[in-house]
Chain A
Amino acid sequence: MTLNGKEVPADGPGPASSAEDGLTPASGTGEVARELRQRIAGQFGRSLHIRTLDTGSCAVCEQEIRLLAAPHYDLHRLGFFFTPAPRHADLLLVTGPMIRAMDVAVHKTYQAMPGPKVVVATGACALGGIYPQDPFVHGDAGKVLPVDVWIPGCPPSPLALLHGLLVAVGRLAEKTPGLTFLADGEAR
């Protein structure tokens, strides 16, 4: 089927799971998923260092990310920290439509992070929504990096970001597969 003009396989674009280190949470059900979630929660659940990477966004996503460190949302109480050094980072938080000029920087940043590592793409740009056809961008973070968690929103509110980060470390279960976005009584 086509979505926004691009050809996509039936069960969605992007790699189903970034299998480099086998530690990314699979969205499936069952024992495997649960064990993986436990492993991830054990490694990152209480202390996670986040490196943000702006690949050409309008910076509104960055403002929402900054609010995470402000007193109201305060991600430090959950054990998350921002770090500028990819060598110290566990999670790469990517915003922006992946402009081609950032290819080297994105590649170097991802390489510089030691495994195990998690990649989270956030914002409609990074999810392939806003600039799917622009020649200067890739349009979709999944085309460049093995993305583990997608957080939609334009911009995603800090609460949505917190939810996404907690999903990434396996402390919360994701809700989206169960949502139908149908009004009239069913699960929205």
Chain B
Amino acid sequence: MPLWFARGLRRGIVTAHYPARPDDSSASLPTPPAFRPAALNRQVAGRLCAACPNGALRRENDVLIFDVGACTACGRCADAAPEAVVPSGQFELATTARSALIKRIPLAGEAAGE
């Protein structure tokens, strides 16, 4: 009992102070992807949509539609096209409108028509 108490005092308070201060563990959380529109063309978009197992990515004409609500942060889109996808680092994603979670990413112009 005294050992446990002493150890706890040494460790200090481990409770997070969120939202007053950001939490250390938030840096390593898996998060939904962010896209580089410059690197996105129809071919890349096709690869991304095929890679997503949850149907969070769809292409409509020249827009990549990304449903953040369906994303599980599995990272397969980043594996399929690492030049176009980076982790967004966003985890504070709660919203009152479901439509706010559906993002439209414009595709760049290059190999349009493929």
A and B touch in the complex (CB under 8 A): yes
Where the two chains meet, the residues of A that have a C-beta atom closer than 8 Å to any C-beta of B are: 1-5, 10-14, 16-17, 24-27, 71-74, 77, 120, 124, 127-130, 132, 142, 147-154, 156-157, 159-160, 162-164, 166-168, 171-172, 174-177, 179-184, 188
B37 touches A184 (CB 8 A): yes
Cα distance A138–B15 when bound, in Å?
38
A184 touches B15 (CB 8 A): no
User: From residue B38, how far is it (CB to closest CB) to chain A in Å?
Assistant: 6
Cα distance A127–B54 when bound, in Å?
12
A176 touches B16 (CB 8 A): no
Where the two chains meet, the residues of B that have a C-beta atom closer than 8 Å to any C-beta of A are: 14-16, 18-19, 23, 25-26, 29, 32-38, 54-56, 58, 60, 65-73, 86, 88-103, 105
The interface residues of chain B lying within 8 Å CB-to-CB of A167 are 94-96
The interface residues of chain A lying within 8 Å CB-to-CB of B96 are 17, 24-27, 148-150, 167, 174
Contacts known (A3-B58, A163-B19); A184 close to B36, Cβ less than 8 A: yes
Cα distance A24–B96 when bound, in Å?
9
Q: Which of A73, A171, A180 contacts B103 (CB 8 A)?
A: A180
The interface residues of chain A lying within 8 Å CB-to-CB of B56 are 129
A73 touches B16 (CB 8 A): yes
The interface residues of chain B lying within 8 Å CB-to-CB of A10 are 99
A128 touches B70 (CB 8 A): yes
Cα distance A13–B23 when bound, in Å?
33
User: From residue B29, how far is it (CB to closest CB) to chain A in Å?
Assistant: 5
B103 touches A162 (CB 8 A): no
Q: Which of A5, A128, A152 contacts B32 (CB 8 A)?
A: A152
Cα distance A156–B69 when bound, in Å?
11
A12 touches B97 (CB 8 A): yes
User: From residue B21, how far is it (CB to closest CB) to chain A in Å?
Assistant: 12
User: From residue B27, how far is it (CB to closest CB) to chain A in Å?
Assistant: 11
Cα distance A84–B50 when bound, in Å?
42
B91 touches A12 (CB 8 A): no
B55 touches A163 (CB 8 A): no
B32 touches A181 (CB 8 A): yes
User: From residue B34, how far is it (CB to closest CB) to chain A in Å?
Assistant: 4
Beyond A4-B58, A10-B99, A11-B97, 15 additional pairs, beta carbon < 8 A = A12-B101, A120-B94, A124-B69, A128-B69, A153-B73, A153-B91, A154-B71, A159-B26, A160-B94, A175-B92, A176-B93, A176-B100, A179-B88, A181-B34, A181-B35
Q: Which 9 A-B pairs have the closest CB atoms?
A: A12-B99, A129-B70, A164-B94, A154-B72, A127-B69, A176-B95, A27-B96, A163-B92, A27-B97
B35 touches A182 (CB 8 A): yes
A14 touches B98 (CB 8 A): yes
